[in-house]
Structure 1
């Protein structure tokens, strides 16, 4: 039976979220663009956006830790399979339409669609 190392998974998720934000900054999207957007869209402010953004990162890492052994292929390709499925299902078809960017973020431009996959 596979057991999740909760501390490592949560740490990995938080670190991954920081790297996600740094990559967004390098790509010219600004610092904390996602938390700002979450806070604005919900009307709950930046603090909620930061909490939601980092909580989401930790939860995705916990989910990955739980299902990684069941994913197809060698260990090195499993993160790519997981993150591609996550971006398609949760970002392109849920989050983008929710925030008014349309399916796959196409209403915001093709660079949004491609950039979201690269950034994740």
Structure 2
């Protein structure tokens, strides 16, 4: 059984979330509306709490996503990069496009929100930027080569 490098997982969650936020600032600046901590502000507003608690919730979410990734990554296919991008793409589609965006009244993939279809693109790319930290910091064991005995047992 693999032990979890908790410090690296925490670092991946925090660094990934910071990269997510920096890309969000860059994207919003390019669209003419520079916004820092847009997600924490949204969370704080929905929770009726000060911005500090939105930031805390946002970064804790980034850490939780890293913990979940560390647990499921050994079962995903491909290199550490393919695993991180597969995981975060699935998380974005299922968690953001099909759950959070509709819950916030923006429709599937956020296309009914103020950004229109750009929301889907920007949210996916922001999450891919987050995935870079997962791949960089969380070690994933290589898949063991399948032997004839293993192949016979699974057939």
Same fold (TM over 0.5): yes
Deviations, residues 23-79 of structure 1 (Å, cap 9, x unaligned) = 111111511000001111221221221011000000101111111111022322101
Q: Tell me the distance in 2 between the aligned counterparts of 1:96 and 1:45.
A: 22
Residue equivalent to 1:47: 52
Runs of 4+ in 1 over 4 A off after TM superposition: none
Residue equivalent to 2:15: 15
Count matched residues.
Answer: 120
Structure 1: which 5+ residue stretches go unaligned? Answer: none
Q: Does 1:59 align with 2:94?
A: no
Query: Which one of 82, 97, 103 corresponds to residue 98 of structure 1?
Result: 103
Q: TM-score, normalised by structure 1?
A: 0.94
Larger RCO: Structure 1 or Structure 2 (Cα < 8 Å, ≥ 6 residues apart)? Answer: 2
Q: What is the aligned-residue RMSD (CA, Å)? A: 1.1
Query: Which one of 63, 69, 76 corresponds to residue 81 of structure 2?
Result: 76
Structure 2: which 5+ residue stretches go unaligned? Answer: 29-33, 128-155
SS at match of 1:107: coil
Q: TM-score, normalised by structure 2?
A: 0.74
SS at match of 2:80: coil
Q: Tell me the distance in 1 between the aligned counterparts of 2:70 and 2:38.
A: 27
Q: Is the Cα contact below 8 Å between 1:41 and 1:99 reproduced in 2?
A: no
Residue equivalent to 1:27: 27
> Which of 1 and 2 has greater Rg?
2
